[in-house]
């Protein structure tokens, strides 16, 4: 029987899955390991890639299913898992060789800890938009306290009992907030989650601007179902940034109606460019810091990208809030 089950939910990950599996199977551990790849109806060759790995290594099991979202893939995976510990490593993540043992060490030394997750590093060879997304996540994780509210499903290890207590993942959440809602159930039950920055993993983010915006639309759309909006200390200023970008974007959208608007709304239209400029300006210090620390001039594109992202997120959050008020998801 395996001591550790690693679930890798997979969708359209033909390009990144081989490196993920190589890193998972290459963990420096003497523990019995099984890797369960759950292909969520991938439109590319992900399922064939996974099956080829399973043919070469008996520790790999592959389950193919119709597309239903990451939550549904994880539910299939943990129900099949046989280990005392269940890890989740997404199909675009490359854990370092000691990642698993560091996370398991936390859980073995601290019996009140039910989950341990690590730090995500940004691959420098990825496209510019993927690097910007990664730098922002690194900033969030750098501010995370050891006793965490949230552990990302990109790289995390739980006790098997955590799934019996907090599962299943809410499949209505599709591809966002599913991990934060799951974690919140554990925290409400008095179980600790530990962020361990020594456990490192490389994470490949969306490679196009449209993919980046779609992902953050989903984050915002389902964020209303989180117990707390500030999953990390760095999130505490996010609401103000989103509100500012949303006001500026709304002002631009109202410009064609300027002469028909009552004075307060007309004033908002006039203030629109200034609001958007301020929203971008507030992001400049962080962009400069990222550019200097990472020696990556692409980080200077962060202010306009985040203004657009935050405006999109505001609309997504509004849609989610309305649907929740109406009793939906």
Over the stretch 15-40, which tens digit does the pLDDT of each residue have?
A: 999 999 999 999 999 999 999 999 99
Q: Determine the pLDDT at residue 175.
A: 77
Q: Are 188 and 244 in the same domain?
A: no
Give the domain range for residue 320.
234-325
Mean pLDDT of 188-200: 97
188 in a domain, yes or no?
yes
CA-to-CA separations, 118 to 12, 115, 306, 324, in angstroms, rounded = 24, 10, 25, 32
- pLDDT digit string, tens, across residues 143-190: 999 999 999 999 999 999 999 999 899 999 977 899 999 999 999 999
Determine how β-strand 192-203 pairs with β-strand 113-121. parallel
Q: Are 143 and 59 in the same domain?
A: yes
Single pTM value for the model: 0.94
Q: Are 72 and 178 in the same domain?
A: yes
Q: Are 137 and 175 in the same domain?
A: yes
Q: Determine the pLDDT at residue 197.
A: 97
Q: Are 105 and 186 in the same domain?
A: yes
Please measure the distance between the N-terminal and C-terminal CA atoms of the chain and give it in whole angstroms. 39
| Domain-terminating residue out of 207, 222, 256 | 207
Q: Are 162 and 296 in the same domain?
A: no
136 in a domain, yes or no?
yes
How many angstroms separate the CA atoms of 125 and 156, rounded?
A: 24
| Domain-terminating residue out of 164, 189, 207 | 207
216 in a domain, yes or no?
no
Confidence of residue 244 (pLDDT cuts 50, 70, 90): very high
- pLDDT digit string, tens, across residues 65-102: 999 999 999 999 999 999 999 999 999 999 999 999 99
212 in a domain, yes or no?
no
Q: Are 57 and 156 in the same domain?
A: yes
Q: Which residue has the higher pLDDT, 268 or 57?
A: 57
214 in a domain, yes or no?
no
| Domain-terminating residue out of 192, 207, 222 | 207
168 in a domain, yes or no?
yes
CA-to-CA separations, 173 to 44, 119, 170, 176, 328, in angstroms, rounded = 23, 24, 6, 6, 11
Q: Are 161 and 277 in the same domain?
A: no
Beta strand spans in the chain (E): 4-10, 33-40, 60-65, 85-89, 93-95, 113-121, 155-159, 192-203
Confidence of residue 217 (pLDDT cuts 50, 70, 90): very high
Q: What share of the chain is helix, strand, coil (3-state, %, to 5)?
A: 55, 15, 30
CA-to-CA separations, 287 to 140, 298, 301, 309, in angstroms, rounded = 14, 9, 7, 15
63 in a domain, yes or no?
yes
How many angstroms separate the CA atoms of 119 and 100, rounded?
A: 12
Q: Are 154 and 240 in the same domain?
A: no
Q: Are 197 and 253 in the same domain?
A: no
228 in a domain, yes or no?
no
Q: Are 244 and 98 in the same domain?
A: no
- pLDDT digit string, tens, across residues 113-135: 999 999 999 999 999 999 999 99
Q: What is the CATH number of the domain that holds 50?
A: 3.90.550.10
| Mean pLDDT over each residue of the chain, to the nearest integer | 95
Domain total of the chain: 2
Q: Are 85 and 138 in the same domain?
A: yes
């Amino acid at each position: 029987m395996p001591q550790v089950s690693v679930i890798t939910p997979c969708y359209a990950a033909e390009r990144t899955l081989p490196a993920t599996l190589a890193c998972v199977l290459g963990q420096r551990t003497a523990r019995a390991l099984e890797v369960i790849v759950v292909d969520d109806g991938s439109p590319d060759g992900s399922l064939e890639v996974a099956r080829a790995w399973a043919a070469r290594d008996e520790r790999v099991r592959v389950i193919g299913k119709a597309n239903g979202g990451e939550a549904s893939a994880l539910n299939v995976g943990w129900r099949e898992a046989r280990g005392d510990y269940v890890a989740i490593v997404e199909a675009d993540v490359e854990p370092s060789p000691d990642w698993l043992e560091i996370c398991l060490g936390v859980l073995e030394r601290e019996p009140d800890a039910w989950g341990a997750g690590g730090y995500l590093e940004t691959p420098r060879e990825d496209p510019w938009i993927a690097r910007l997304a990664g730098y922002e996540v690194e900033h969030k994780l750098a501010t995370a306290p050891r006793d965490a509210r949230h552990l990302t499903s990109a790289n995390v290890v739980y006790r098997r009992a955590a799934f019996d207590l907090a599962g299943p993942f809410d499949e209505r959440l599709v591809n966002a907030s599913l991990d934060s809602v799951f974690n919140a159930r554990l925290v409400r039950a008095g179980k600790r989650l530990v962020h361990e920055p020594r456990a490192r993993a490389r994470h490949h983010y969306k490679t196009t601007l449209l993919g980046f915006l779609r992902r953050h639309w989903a984050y915002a759309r389902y964020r209303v179902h989180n117990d707390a909006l500030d999953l990390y200390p760095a999130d505490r200023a996010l609401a103000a940034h989103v509100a500012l970008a949303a006001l500026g974007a709304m002002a631009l959208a109202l410009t064609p109606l300027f002469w028909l608007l009552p004075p307060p709304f007309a004033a908002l239209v006039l203030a629109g460019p200034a609001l958007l400029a301020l929203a971008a300006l507030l992001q400049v210090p962080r962009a400069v810091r990222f550019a200097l620390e990472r020696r990556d001039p692409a980080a200077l594109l962060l202010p306009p990208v985040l203004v657009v992202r935050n405006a999109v997120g505001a609309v997504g959050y509004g849609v989610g809030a309305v649907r929740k008020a109406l009793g939906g998801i």
